[in-house]
Amino acid sequence: MNRRVVITGLGVCAPNGVGLTDFTNALLEGKSGLRYQPNLEQLGFGCQVAGEPFVADKTIDNYFTPLERRGLNATGIVYGVIAGLDAWIDAGLDKNNTDEPSWDRGIIFGTGILGVDKFREAIHLIDDGNVRRLGSTSVIQTMASGISAYLGGILGCGNQVTTNSAACTTGTEGIIMAYERIRQGKADIMLTGSCSDSGPYVWGGFDAMRILPRGYNDNPTEASRPMSATAAGFVPGSGAGALVLESLESAQKRGANIYAEVLGGENNSGGQMGEGSMTAPNSMAVQRCIRNAIANSGIEAADIDVINGHLTATTKDALEIENWTKALSRKQDDFPYINSFKGSVGHCLAAAGSIECVATVLQFKEQVVFKNVNCDEINPEISKLISEANIPRQTIKYAPKVIAKASFGFGDVNACIIFKKY
Amino acid sequence: MLMLVLFLKNTNYQKRIPKGILNDFNMLKEEKYKKLKDIVKIYLPEDVAVKDIEQNSHFMNDLNINSANLVDIVLDVEDAFDIRLENEDMEKMQTVNDAMAIIDAKLAQD
């Protein structure tokens, strides 16, 4: 079976906007979601800037029952449920009100680590000899698959309900997995996305690795500088993005709005060999991943109009651009438009791929290429490879036909996906 | 820190009749029942109403409360009545009446 797969719903809970309207407006203007975090200063973090979605208490009430809210201390679940349910509703789908699970509908919703604040609560109780006081939700809020389990219960899905995890590749990987499941005829509708918790216990390890910018605590909106000559490291973020993938047949039967088609994609790994390591990508694998995604999609490299890179604002940005130029055999003026949303959203870790895919797909609807922020002065290593005109510093009016999106993660893992205007 | 907490507690103790004493000796049965009902109501599934809670209601069979949530009801009862329930108490706590009896027994022990 080789069915066509389309995107019929989007949802997002991002540092620069909760809900599609706010998120779209923020991207159009390049409004930053990165803020100074007083708790990080109190804890002695070098980087005291991070991205965290603003979620009002009354917003949470719209998504969780009073019982679910009791003792809820897992921000990733809050973000993931908001984004996931929003995408479901955006697709014009209802909760399952029948007596039978929806066998043709499933969920692949990833995360890196879930419910760290809840886990911290549990650790304190256990260390105090008080394990009996943990309550019944300690497990479901801290298991990685807690997010797909919450969504699966709310929506009554009866197809595969699971959580994938591949570091910062998670969100993009999940979309490819969901696409494959529908393409093979194993499901009609898949809710896919990813989420990442907020807070010092998630971000601390990266601060300790000295890979976060330390010079922007007084100037948080300028801290994340992808492709810039002055890029100083990635700014950690959090949140969730979600997409409803559906067979074209099912979408047409329902008369659903179609944002874009998923043409294909590829997940691979560099085996931590050659220049690849636990934390650095093997370029051979990155290029292969992009080339295979193009081949799987039945298009040519020349068909790609826009790229949304991984581009985290580290010294590796130039290497990523070099890998794109080699994989596509396109450079200088011939290179597509390229952007990174991490300048305004930060690097949302496990949620990065899904949040950025939502933004990528919104470019078809808005007929724009969203701007890059904080890169007035482009990294000279990048300018040597591609024309600066291909790095929009203002949101430009342009109707993309094919957009490539890639994410790369610790463990030397890669994902590349090709979206097409429908 | 501990001394400070004790000091504050003692000051409070002298200012008004402490809640704990009221709970232990003077609380009316209806008051206890109301307190228990308030705890239980949040755990009711959508198809069960607060008015369905009766003294002889079985938590799982009549009120359709999820067995995992019985653990949380026990913790809430401990907090509300300032008592500690053991595993045996939990096993015996099948109905609203069982819970009332266990609470009474624990309060009498203190």
Task: Give the separation between CA A230 and CA A385, rounded to whole angstroms.
Answer: 18
Least confident of A70-84, A162-176, A389-403, B15-29: B15-29
Sorted by where each starts, the structural domains of chain B and their CATH numbers stand as 28-109 (1.10.1200.10)
Of the CA atoms within 13 Å of residue B92, those in its CB half-sphere come to 13
Q: Which of B42, B69, B71 sits opposite A66 (nearest CB)?
A: B42
- Helix ranges, A15-107 (H): 20-29, 38-42, 57-63, 66-69, 75-90
Domains and CATH numbers, chain A: 1-406 (3.40.47.10)
CA A67 to chain centre: 29
Angstrom distance (rounded) from CA A263 to CA B92: 59
Report the residue of A67, A121, A138, A154 to disrupt the B interface, i.e. the one with the largest count of B CBs within 10 Å. A67
Q: What is the pLDDT of residue B27?
A: 67
Side-chain half-sphere CA neighbours of A177 within 13 A: 24
Is there a contact between A406 and A414 (Cβ–Cβ < 8 Å)? yes
ipTM comes to: 0.81
C-alpha B44, offset from chain centre? 16
Q: Which pLDDT does position B19 carry in this prediction?
A: 53
pLDDT tens track for B45-55? 989 999 999 99
DSSP string, A331-378: -BTTSPEEE-THHHH-B-GGGHHHHHHHHHHHHHHHTEEPPP-S-SSB
Please provide residue A344's backbone torsions phi and psi, each rounded to the nearest 5 degrees. -110, -25
Model confidence pLDDT, tens digit, residues A230-287 = 999 999 999 999 999 999 999 999 999 999 999 999 999 999 999 999 999 999 999 9
CB contact under 8 A, A133 and B42: no
Q: Does A95 touch chain B (CB under 8 A)?
A: no
- CA distances (Å), origin A89, targets A83, A84, A244, A247, A256: 10, 9, 10, 17, 11
Task: Say how many CB pairs under 8 Å bridge A and B.
Answer: 16
B50 interfaces chain A, CB cutoff of 8 Å = no
CB contact under 8 A, B72 and A133: no
Say what the pLDDT of residue B6 is: 43
- pLDDT beyond 50 at B1: no
Arithmetic mean of pLDDT, A155-162: 98
Shortest CA distance from A136: residue in chain B: B68
Alpha carbon distance A342, A352 (integer Å)? 8
- Minimal CA separation from A137 to chain B, in Å: 9
DSSP-assigned letter for residue B23:
I
Cα separation, A139 vs A71, in Å, equals 12
